[in-house]
Amino acid sequence: MRESLFCLLALLLSAGCQVGEAGNTEVLQNRNGKLVSFSHPQTECSQCHAQHVEEWEISNHAYAAKDPVFHAMVKAGQAQTEGKIGQFCVQCHSPVGLATEQTPVFFDEDLGVFQQETEDLDAVAQQGVSCDVCHSITDVIEPQNARMVLTPDGTKRGTIVDPVPTEAHQSSYSQLHTTSEVCGSCHAVTTPRGALAEETFSEWASSDAAKQGKTCQSCHMPEYIGQAAPDAPERTLHRHTFVGVDVSLLPPDEFPGYESMRELVRAMLESSAKLDMRMVASQNFEQRQERALEVTISNLTGHALPTGATAERQLWLEIIIKNSAGDIVFESGTLDAHGDIRDGIASHSSRPGTDPQLAYYGQYLIEDQILKSLTDPQEIEERKKALDQACDAIVQGGTNAPAEVKVVTFPWQANWQCNRMIAPDASSKHLFSLQELPAAKYSASLRLLFRTFPPYFLRELEEVGALDAAVKDRVPLVTVAQKEWAFQIGGDGFVLPGQTH
Ligand code: HEC
Ligand code: HEC
Ligand code: HEC
Ligand code: HEC
Ligand code: HEC
């Protein structure tokens, strides 16, 4: 690992590889006496790997350094932390930009704040997680925070055991590329202040999918039969669209695959969960019988649902019940005038706390003043446990929330988190109390909804990160699953079995 050409390491300096100096192409060429570089996918790979390039160029990996939300977050983050974020974000979003020192953090005299160059990158660094980033990975030191080793020496590492020789490059079989570890060092983010902002790798590691031998590639790089290059034999190949939940929020003509990626994401999300419901008469906490609708969401993915940047992801249940005159008599998960869900947090909604039965699955980032002041590792662990236990009160906002804990919007503001995702392989049950409904006939509709960003988050970025206001209108709202049915509440107070379809 040490003989590798350079290391790309997390935040801190580590064994001879400083983030600041890592990957200076000039230095590497001198040090090793041979050409070291990253190539441009379209101009240097597509003549032989056209299919791979066409798929990859609509993927979020190609979008990682072009993403307008990314640029706005870096702008806000560097200003708010006085440049302390340093090279943290670009490690994963433009490894080439970092390696070739195109992303300096500097003090902007005109604006009077710290900024970082992330937009004016050369044609290769703009490609984000490009072919050569993944196909140069030679080691993963730890599956988080970009702790991996890149060796961009021209050899392409992949999973073909007997690659046909080509003049274009050396090929080399890499067992690492068959594993989830090769994805893991980027798909797990612990912020400099200790918040677990993304935990996809460890969620997967604990899942049944992992035990059954399913890797990230099994679901995100499906197999097909084809030719990897014009004169190569037919083989089992792997899709490079890396479908997840994100889509380009740039204007449709500024990033390829605007519509096709939206289609692929919709299909992926529809495969992510199973929705079941039934009417129940449950015991409430005063041991009274209570009519309720029990909704069960089963997580069918290989990690939490949602996963990844869960503080922004929104998965929630919308339920609307109407009486026979068509008037809405019960609703939850419906939006406020700005399009935000009505949870308990004042900065999220114009009507906070007006949806007490809300079923929301995602993450709340928090900043705790007590945790901030602790240095003893054991005390820190104990405080984190106490915070986990206080999460119900914290996410409800209101007066029961501990005064020293604040729900924050951005990852660099947080030092811990309250997770409300559905764990891998788990089912989440939610009870909507229908106790207030009088005896009558009703029609109901239930939807499991998903979107990548809440409007409040993007509005805040318009203010502090100069995000284009048109971006929020391009965020799709996806119906993951839905049910409609009719039911009747009898005079004796019991729910008659309704019809569901
Ligand atoms: C002149 C044609 C040509 C060009 C240009 C080319 N390749 Fe290849 N590449 C091949 C051939 C041929 C194979 C072997 C395919 C096979 O055996 O099925 C291959 C195999 C690979 C493999 C698999 C290696 C393994 O052992 O698993 C990777 C990864 C790869 N190329 C990446 C790239 C990237 C990235 C670029 C652009 C920087 C590129 N190639 C440019 C022809 C080319
Ligand atoms: C059993 C199939 C399966 C496996 C295994 C799996 N995923 Fe997923 N993944 C999905 C599905 C379905 C979705 C869409 C629903 C969701 O967001 O969770 C998804 C979504 C994602 C997303 C977008 C998440 C979001 O909500 O923002 C990322 C990132 C991701 N997966 C990465 C990974 C990585 C990295 C691994 C391996 C460590 C992995 N996945 C393993 C099925 C899988
Ligand atoms: C996010 C990481 C990642 C990126 C980006 C990426 N690849 Fe791959 N690629 C892989 C992995 C992992 C495999 C092996 C998958 C497996 O065996 O399960 C692979 C396989 C391949 C193969 C072997 C044939 C096949 O389909 O299995 C070729 C050729 C290839 N990639 C070319 C490219 C090119 C060209 C690009 C850029 C346009 C690219 N890759 C971008 C991770 C990546
Ligand atoms: C060098 C870091 C890096 C590596 C290695 C990497 N990824 Fe990613 N991946 C990212 C980044 C950054 C994004 C998000 C880009 C954005 O939307 O701004 C992403 C996005 C994704 C998404 C789309 C998520 C969504 O919300 O739609 C999937 C799926 C995914 N990666 C799967 C994989 C798999 C599978 C592998 C391993 C074969 C892998 N990644 C390896 C950095 C990486
Ligand atoms: C260790 C690697 C890594 C680091 C460091 C990292 N990211 Fe990411 N980022 C990812 C991956 C992987 C995804 C895809 C996860 C998903 O789609 O849910 C992602 C997704 C994103 C997205 C698109 C999805 C979303 O919900 O926001 C933005 C914007 C983003 N990151 C901004 C940042 C910023 C700003 C920083 C620095 C404060 C940062 N990232 C640091 C790996 C990283």
- Closest C-alpha residue for ligand 3 atom 34: 131
Q: Is 172 exposed, middle or buried (0-12, 13-18, 19+ CB in 10 A)?
A: middle
Mean pLDDT of 256-284: 92
- Closest C-alpha residue for ligand 2 atom 10: 301
What pLDDT does residue 398 have?
83
Asked if 367 and 373 count as a contact pair (C-beta separation under 8 A), the reply is: no
Q: Between these two residues, 99 and 116, which has the higher pLDDT value?
A: 116
* Lowest mean pLDDT segment, chosen from 74-83, 115-124, 285-294, 366-375: 285-294
Of ligand 5's listed atoms, the one at least distance from the Cα of 185 is 1
Asked if 289 and 283 count as a contact pair (C-beta separation under 8 A), the reply is: yes
Q: Between these two residues, 288 and 332, which has the higher pLDDT value?
A: 332
Residue 198 CA, ligand 4 centroid: distance in Å: 12
Of ligand 4's listed atoms, the one at least distance from the Cα of 137 is 5
Asked if 178 and 133 count as a contact pair (C-beta separation under 8 A), the reply is: no
Does the pLDDT at position 392 exceed 80?
Answer: yes
Q: How confident is the model at residue 26 (pLDDT cuts 50, 70, 90)?
A: very low
Percentage of residues in the chain having pLDDT higher than 90: 83
* Lowest mean pLDDT segment, chosen from 107-111, 126-130, 227-231, 281-285: 281-285
Nearest CA to 98 out of 42, 170, 152 is that of 152
Mean pLDDT of 84-110: 93
314 pocket-lining for ligand 5 (C-beta < 6 Å): no
- Closest C-alpha residue for ligand 4 atom 23: 244
Q: Between these two residues, 269 and 26, which has the higher pLDDT value?
A: 269
240 pocket-lining for ligand 3 (C-beta < 6 Å): yes
CA 307: distance to chain centroid? 6
- Can you tell me the distance from the alpha carbon of 164 to that of 392, in angstroms, rounded to the nearest whole number? 57
Q: How confident is the model at residue 9 (pLDDT cuts 50, 70, 90)?
A: very low
Nearest CA to 246 out of 59, 470, 65, 119 is that of 59
What pLDDT does residue 28 have?
37
Of ligand 5's listed atoms, the one at least distance from the Cα of 77 is 38
Residue 241 CA, ligand 1 centroid: distance in Å: 18
Residues in Cβ contact with 415 at an 8 Å cutoff, skipping those fewer than 6 apart: 193, 194, 195, 366, 367, 368, 371, 372
Q: Between these two residues, 87 and 31, which has the higher pLDDT value?
A: 87
Of ligand 2's listed atoms, the one at least distance from the Cα of 205 is 38
Q: How confident is the model at residue 240 (pLDDT cuts 50, 70, 90)?
A: very high
Of ligand 1's listed atoms, the one at least distance from the Cα of 172 is 26
- Closest C-alpha residue for ligand 5 atom 14: 308
What pLDDT does residue 184 have?
96
* Lowest mean pLDDT segment, chosen from 64-68, 85-89, 475-479: 85-89
Mean pLDDT of 264-268: 98
What pLDDT does residue 153 have?
86
Residue 242 CA, ligand 1 centroid: distance in Å: 19
- Closest C-alpha residue for ligand 2 atom 41: 216
The mean pLDDT of the chain is: 90
Of ligand 4's listed atoms, the one at least distance from the Cα of 128 is 12
What pLDDT does residue 99 have?
86
Residues in Cβ contact with 222 at an 8 Å cutoff, skipping those fewer than 6 apart: 238, 239
- Can you tell me the distance from the alpha carbon of 476 to that of 339, in angstroms, rounded to the nearest whole number? 12
Does the pLDDT at position 64 exceed 70?
Answer: yes
What pLDDT does residue 281 have?
76
Residue 332 CA, ligand 2 centroid: distance in Å: 27
Ligand 4: residue of 58, 61, 215 to mutate (most ligand atoms within 8 A of CB) is 61
Residue 208 CA, ligand 5 centroid: distance in Å: 26
- Can you tell me the distance from the alpha carbon of 326 to that of 444, in angstroms, rounded to the nearest whole number? 11
Does the pLDDT at position 279 exceed 50?
Answer: yes
What pLDDT does residue 500 have?
56
Residues in Cβ contact with 435 at an 8 Å cutoff, skipping those fewer than 6 apart: 284, 290, 291, 292
Asked if 156 and 169 count as a contact pair (C-beta separation under 8 A), the reply is: yes
Position of tokens 């379809």?
501
Q: Is 42 exposed, middle or buried (0-12, 13-18, 19+ CB in 10 A)?
A: middle
Mean pLDDT of 58-64: 98
- Can you tell me the distance from the alpha carbon of 208 to that of 425, in angstroms, rounded to the nearest whole number? 7
Ligand 4 pocket, Cβ-based, cut-off 6 angstroms: 60-61, 63-64, 67, 70, 92-93, 95, 129, 133-134, 182-183, 186-187, 216-217, 220-221, 242, 244-246, 308
- Closest C-alpha residue for ligand 2 atom 36: 216
Residue 248 CA, ligand 2 centroid: distance in Å: 18
Report the greatest alpha carbon distance in the chain: 87
B/e letters for 422-453, b = 16+ CB within 10 Å, e = fewer, are bebbeebebebebeebeeeebebebbbbbbbb
Mean pLDDT of 216-234: 97
Ligand 1: residue of 44, 169, 182 to mutate (most ligand atoms within 8 A of CB) is 169
- Can you tell me the distance from the alpha carbon of 212 to that of 301, in angstroms, rounded to the nearest whole number? 13
Position of tokens 């400083």?
18
Residue 346: count other Cβ atoms within 10 Å of its Cβ. 12
- Can you tell me the distance from the alpha carbon of 442 to that of 80, in angstroms, rounded to the nearest whole number? 51
Q: How confident is the model at residue 263 (pLDDT cuts 50, 70, 90)?
A: very high
Phi and psi (nearest 5°) for 257? 75, 25
What pLDDT does residue 94 have?
94
Residue 198 CA, ligand 5 centroid: distance in Å: 8
- Can you tell me the distance from the alpha carbon of 245 to that of 40, in angstroms, rounded to the nearest whole number? 26
246 pocket-lining for ligand 5 (C-beta < 6 Å): yes
Q: How confident is the model at residue 18 (pLDDT cuts 50, 70, 90)?
A: very low
Residue 67 CA, ligand 1 centroid: distance in Å: 28
- Closest C-alpha residue for ligand 2 atom 34: 216
Q: Between these two residues, 28 and 261, which has the higher pLDDT value?
A: 261
State the Cα angle at 189 between 419 and 207, rounded to 5°. Answer: 60
What pLDDT does residue 499 have?
54
State the Cα angle at 234 between 228 and 238, rounded to 5°. Answer: 50
List pLDDT tens digits, range 465-498: 999 999 999 999 999 999 999 999 887 666 666 6
What pLDDT does residue 31 have?
41
Q: Which ligand is nearest to the CA of 173?
A: 1
Mean pLDDT of 270-277: 97
What pLDDT does residue 362 have?
98
* Lowest mean pLDDT segment, chosen from 76-90, 229-243, 284-298, 336-350: 284-298
Of ligand 3's listed atoms, the one at least distance from the Cα of 55 is 38
- Closest C-alpha residue for ligand 4 atom 43: 186
Residues in Cβ contact with 181 at an 8 Å cutoff, skipping those fewer than 6 apart: 140, 143
List pLDDT tens digits, range 113-163: 999 999 999 999 999 999 999 999 999 999 999 999 888 888 999 999 999
What pLDDT does residue 36 have?
59
Residue 135 CA, ligand 3 centroid: distance in Å: 7
- Closest C-alpha residue for ligand 3 atom 25: 237
What pLDDT does residue 152 have?
87
* Lowest mean pLDDT segment, chosen from 31-35, 161-165, 423-427: 31-35
